[in-house]
Amino acid sequence: MSSPVPQIQKVGVVGAGQMGNGIAHVFALHGYDVVMSDLEQPKLDAAMETIRGNLGRQIRKEMITEAESEATLARILCVTDLDAFGDAGLVVEAAAEREDLKKSIFSNLLPIVPEKAILTSNTSSISITRLASSTDRPEKFMGLHFMNPVPVMRLVELIRGIATDEETYATMKNVVKSLGKEAASAEDFPAFIVNRVLVPMINEAVYTLYEGVGTVKSIDKAMKLGANHPMGPLELADFIGLDTCLAIMNVLHDGLADTKYRPCPLLVKYVEAGWLGRKAGRGFYDYRGDQPVPTR
């Protein structure tokens, strides 16, 4: 495994959800001490169970050893407040895709984290420049966008805000490399690179369903077999979370003022119903039985 970047030994991860626990896993596996925070202890407990399960999968695939798994778990400290972030050299915010929430988290962090600490957000679409401007160190603020699932996907998008300095960017490039991942640099425009291309495709697939061009099953089969995608767009939407897909489409629509980014009304309806995909048990597929069943 790679070694931590010298000036960063301890990493604070805010949020223990799907992305947060994956980010904590990857940093700890590569030798960093990690503090993972969430407001509720049961979420932290569930996150650690997920990390244990994912490490077990890596052992079975002979990617890591039992000893590396145990060392990884020992490097992760779970907390329900931010006080333990006092000696972190890097913070990764991985909370829900809401700008007000993210700004509030950074506001709470500023009195605690060291002056030299780099602040990053795992946001998939929100302006890094705007988030950075709400802190006391916009020059030490970046977007650090991991792909889902974090332990598996090799790409990390690095997004500089208008004030991000070269030293911070160079440091974060080295951090990404130390995690055994590849960095792609993106400019600070709505949804960056991956989601600027991917989520409108998903939205178009929802329109294709909404307009009756195809069923859930036929749309996903068409893109898997016809475009060689590993996962159909509606299946992928459920995996990402329909609320996240909608949030990204709204950021694109608001930020670029182009009608081609209008969220499909059916996507809005599913989110209003609370059918958010896999994490809710229902989305474009119903996951409550032995096998996923299309809901339309």
Annotated active-site positions, please? 124, 145, 157, 195
d(CA 164, CA 158): 11
| Cβ 113 vs Cβ 36: under 8 Å | no
Q: Which residues pair with 35 in a beta bridge?
A: 12, 77
Ramachandran area for residue 44 (φ above 0: left; ψ -120 to 50: alpha; else beta): alpha
* All residues at 6 or more sequence positions from 77 whose CB lies less than 8 Å from its CB, including other chains: 33, 34, 35, 36, 84
Distances 263 to 14, 200, 203, 259 between C-alpha atoms, Å: 29, 9, 7, 9
